[in-house]
Structure formats: structure tokens, C-alpha cells
Structure 1
Amino acid sequence: MRIPTAIDVDTAATRVHGHVRHTPLLRTEIGDRECLLKLEHLQRTGSFKLRGAVNALASGERPEQVITASGGNHGLGVATAAKSLGLPATVYVPETVPEAKARRIERSGATLIRHGTTYAECAAAAHDAATRTGARYVEAYNDPDVVAGQGTMAREIARDAPDVDAIVVAVGGGGLAAGTALGSDGRKTVAVEPHGCGCLHQALHAGEPVDTDVDSVAASALGATRIGDIPFAVLASADVTSVLVTDDEILTARDLLWEEFRLAVEPAAAAPLAAFAAGRIPGDLPCLVLCGANTTWTPST
């Protein structure tokens, strides 16, 4: 198992340059406390996932075809990266995938296959297909090149706002959190999960990745049942704080982003703000990452 390093993030930054947007930062106050918002939901494809997908497909030998499994955002990132590199892509998604994500994957030119009710089920089918066809399988998070690619976002934060002392991210399978730990140039990484999707939180307590239940309003993006071995290896040795939030706190934070800033994001992207508003985030100047906006969006009120 190859574990990525900060040097891999620097290499990834060169690979993804020109393929991804350098997303902006918004400095503001929420509840009389200063913070920054990293507007990564403005990334091409509507989420950070494009970074890891581009880096993975630009590393090593050029494949003839690409297969992946995704709850939506990763699949869209892989489909878009493959199209830009002239590669055919097939994306497996659970039958529960939000229609907005499925529609965008198909619009990118990839073949969309719905299989199973959970990410684990569709991933198993996608792995079988890759084995049969010899296609390049791009992991959603358990891949050193994907992790390094996600770390390019933290590199941007560190260079654009050197006074930031903590970077706060939502956690699904752990790729973004691990990349953030590698790319943050020593800043604290705060990993936020819903109570119903706490695979990193449980793994840190168990000392190893363990299977977990998935039940949250943010499950379409954060619904990994087990933290990836590679992200866990990075995070277990990093300066990481694990925080849990409720679904109600996530939805309240999502609505606050719309009411106060007119920022429309998916529930997963509001998890960092949910933790910040609840007073669970350390640091004098944290940066809250709004990681995606690919869902059918309506405010709660």
C-alpha cells in the first residue's frame, strides 16, 4: 500500500493546473467569530472531486477506458476528467443517486449504470467490470493519486490565506480529509461527519477502519460505510480533530449559507459550517470548505 506524501500533493498541483479552477475564498464572520469559506462548490463539476480524478488519470500509463463507482460527485469528476483526456468512461452509481448528479454524469458523455442501493454494492459491480475488461478503475478515495489530487485544494488555501490555522472538511471515505492533512502545510485538519455516517470517527476510536452504518441527509455524498485504508493511514498519523454533527445542524447550516450569503450547496458541504456554528471547531481563523453543490436543492424554510 503506497501512502501519499506532501511531495505528491506538489506534483499533483502541477498535473491538475489548467484542468481545475482555483476556487475563491470568502472572509466573513458567523456568530461574531471570523472564518473563511472556501467556495469549492464553484469548482468545475460542482465539487472538489475533479482534482483527484484528473491527478489519477494523468498519473502512470494512459488507460484505454475508465470505470468507477460513485455516489455522484466522484463519478462526475471522473467522467469530466476522462472526457478532457479523450478516454471513454463508465460510472456505476447506487439506485438512490440524486437525479441531478445522475443527469450531469450522463451529460458529460459517460455511460451511467445504476446498481444496488448502497455505494458498497455499486462499487463491487464496478470492480468486477474493471477486472473483466481491463479498464482503469479510479477509486473514489482509497487511491494515493486521488488523495494527493484532493490535497491541491488545501494548498490553495494555505497560499491564499496564510493566517488560516485550521481547515475544516466534510468526510465520506476520507480522501479529501487525508489530502487536506497532506496539503495544509502543517495546519490542523478538522474532519466533520454526520452522526449517521461516522466511519472516520469510529475508525479513529477503534484504531483501524471498521464497517459502519449509513443514515444521514448527507449520505449521498458522505455515505461511505468504511474509511479507506490509505486515507486512514494518513489521518491516523496527522493532526486531525474528528467532529460529529446532526442532520438538523447540517440542514440549518445549509439554509444559513443561502440566507446570509446566497450560497446554494448540498447538505454534505454544509457540515463544516454546522460544526462551526455549534462551537466545535478549534483555531483562531478556520477555513470551512464548501465541498459540493450537486443535488436537487431547496431550502428547508
Structure 2
Amino acid sequence: MTTQTDTQTGDRSDQPSDAVTRPAIRAAADLIRPHVRRTPVLEVDLADLGGPAHPLALKLESVQHSGSFKARGAFTNLLTSDVPDAGVVAASGGNHGAAVAYAAARLGVPATIFVPSVTSAAKADRIRGYGADLVVGGDRYADALAASEEFVARTGALAVHAYDQPGTLVGQGTLGLEISEDLPDLDTLLVAVGGGGLIGGIAGWFRGDVRVVAVEPEGAPTLHRALAAGEPVDAPAGSVAADSLAPRQVGRLMFPLAQRFVDRAVLVDDDAIVAAQHALWDATRVVAEPGGATALAALLSGAYVPEPGERVAVLVCGANTTAVRF
């Protein structure tokens, strides 16, 4: 596969956060367009979902290939790298692994995915279904990451990091570009945060032109704690959304982007996340996993209250779950 230098992929430890630029994101969008879906926007009223009356746009990245936004970063990394015979390897709570497995299958390269024991059966089954080798071990994402790094050292496989790699950030930033085209009058976008690859890429696209609000579970306040400390720091990982929103720390590449371009980080409890899942299904028949519904939970719980006339959108970012309310 050819290398596309415009997207600045490479080892996550030696690339600056300013690699996540609008030109790089545009180049990535052109590159991955044949491989990803342009996902729809659903216009609703927040009152229909159980909150106060307010117009709301839902960006349904939950219907993306592999069930989440992660396909964007996966394809960006694979299409801008020379993949060795050993293939690609990723550590993941589930969604990133599914995306890398899907991209690898589409592009005809082998994939090995390491996941922690908290990974849901739906995500593990999806990874296996794409033909990847799945390795389960450890209790949280950091354990899977350490095992994947040992695998890379032993085999020479190409590592695709879930959030702290320029190609991942740039690839997820293509979602910001798409949202800006879908909703040119947008004031505020609410985005769920785990390791920060998604919000880092989106913030790198909007660069303050749109208010970007981070939403995290109370049990996994990773970005919230990092912003308070002025640097990435360890955070707990106890939440119903732990398989997608609970790394030990946010990424070091995304953190300067968050400091500059993320308006604030708000917290929601697990009850609010589950209520948001149910509201999406009951009112719109949209399926979301807990992490995918977390941004909406901020509006329904009052953790974020829009001003009158504020044009607000929520990113529904993942749907890899079997827990649908019938």
C-alpha cells in the first residue's frame, strides 16, 4: 500500500498534535471516501427524547461500517502505511478492533486484535466475524495495549493505535469535516470521550469555529481530570460504557487540541447513559451502545443546557450492542 504523507501517519510517540490540520483531514477524507459511509443526520426535538423542548440534530455515525466512527481512523492508517506480511495489530475495547478488523478484511491483510475482558460479546463477535485473530486478556484497555505491543515487538506487525496516533486522529477528524458540511449553521457539538481520538480529530477540524463539548461517564472522567491537571493523568474506569470510554489516560497527541479547542468536559452518570440509550430506541428506533449514547445523556440529564436558539448536535458514535429495548 502506498504512503500518503499529507495525512501525517506514523509512530504516535514522535508526532506533534499540529499534524491534525484541516488540509490533512481533507486529504484523509478523499483517501477513505470509497471505504466509509457518509452517515445521515436526523433532525428531532429534544422533547421527543424526554428532555426540554429544543431542536436537535443527531449525527448517526452509529451506522458506519463496523458499527462506529472508528472505521475512519482504521482506513486512514492502513491506506497510508506499508503493511508488513505480519499484518496489523490493534488493542481495543471493541470498536477500534472491529474497525481495524473490517478495514484489514476489505484491504486483504491479516489482523490480530487484543481486547480486555470487559469487551462486550457483541464487539468480540464482530471482530471474529471479520476474520481477525482475537486475543482476550487483562481487565482493561491498558492490559490489552501492553499485550499488543509485545506482539508488535515479536512479529513486526503494524500497530494501529485506537486514539493516540496521527493517522487515527486525522481519520476521525473527517467526521468533523462531514458534520460541518451537513450542519453549516451549527453552534455546539456534543461528543463522547474515551481516549480522545474522536474529539481530538473533530476539534482539530473545527478549531474553535464550533463549540465542542466533551461528555464522559462519571466513572471514567479521563479528559475531565486531564484538563483539571493540565496534562493526561490516570483516571478510574468504572462505567456501563467501560468497553469504549474508559482508557487509563487520554492520548498525549490529542490533549493539546482539547486544551485549545474543547469548550468543556461534562460528566454523566450511568443511569443517564442507559436512559439515553432507551430514549434513542423508543423515540427514533436508533440503536446505540452505552458509549454511543453518552453525548445525548448530557442533554437529557441537564449536564449541558443549551441556550435559546443555540443550534446543537449530538454525535451518536457507536452501535455495537445486543442490548436493544423491545
TM-score norm. by structure 1 comes to: 0.96
Partner in structure 2 of residue 187 of structure 1: 210
Q: Which residues of 2 match residues 252-291 of structure 1 at below 5 A?
A: 252-279=275-302, 280-282=304-306, 284-291=310-317
Q: Distance in 1 between matches of 2:155 and 2:305?
A: 46
**SS across alignment from 1:96:** coil
CA distance in 2, matches of 1:266, 1:178: 21
Name the CA distance, whole Å, in 2 between partners of 1:178 and 1:137.
20
The one of 38, 47, 53 aligned to 1:22: 38
Which residue type is aligned with residue 14 of structure 1?
Answer: D
Letter in 2 for 1:23: T
Q: Partner letter of residue 143 of structure 2?
A: E
- SS of equivalent to 1:18: helix
1:57 to 72, 78, 91: 78
The residue type paired with residue 117 of structure 2 is E
- Is structure 2 residue 318 aligned with structure 1 residue 295? no
Gaps of 5+ in 2: 1-13, 47-51
CA shift for structure 1 position 191: 0.7
Offset at residue 199 of structure 1 (A)? 0.6
Partner SS state of residue 154, structure 1: helix
Instruction: Confirm or deny that 1:175 pairs with 2:191.
Output: no
Select between 271-280 and 191-200 the one with higher mean Cα deviation: 271-280
Q: Which amino acid aligns with 2:60?
A: L
Structure 1 residues 177 and 282: alpha-carbon distance in aligned structure 2, compared to 1, 3 A threshold:
farther
> Which residue number corresponds to residue 58 of structure 2?
37
Contact 1:181 1:240 survives alignment (8 Å): no
Give the SS at the match of 1:254: helix
Asked whether the equivalents of residues 90 and 161 of structure 2 are also in contact (C-alpha less than 8 Å), the reply is yes
**Counterpart contact for 1:190–1:281, Cα < 8 Å:** no
State the match for 2:253 in structure 1. Answer: 230
Between the aligned residues of both structures, percent identity stands at 43
Partner of 1:12: 28
Aligned partner of 2:8 in structure 1 is: none
User: 1:117 maps to what in 2?
Assistant: 139
Structure 1 residue 281: Cα displacement: 4.5
- d(CA) in 1 for partners of 2:248 and 2:144? 13
Q: CA deviation at 1:282?
A: 4.3
- Count of residue pairs brought into register by the alignment: 300
Within the alignment, does 1:199 sit opposite 2:222 as a pair? yes
CA shift digits 1:7-33 (9 cap, x unpaired): 221111011101000000011111210
By how many angstroms is 1:61 displaced? 2.6
Q: Cα distance, 1:133 vs. partner? A: 0.8
Conservation of the 8 A alpha-carbon contact between 2:174 and 2:201: yes
Q: What is the rounded CA distance, in whole Å, between the counterparts of 1:241 and 1:285 in structure 2?
A: 17
Query: Offset at 1:286?
Result: 1.2
**CA shift digits 1:63-88 (9 cap, x unpaired):** 33101110100000001111111110
Deviation sequence 1:208-238 (CA, Å, 0-9, x none): 0001111000111101111010111211121
Q: Distance in 1 between matches of 2:268 and 2:68?
A: 21
TM-score normalized with structure 2 length: 0.89
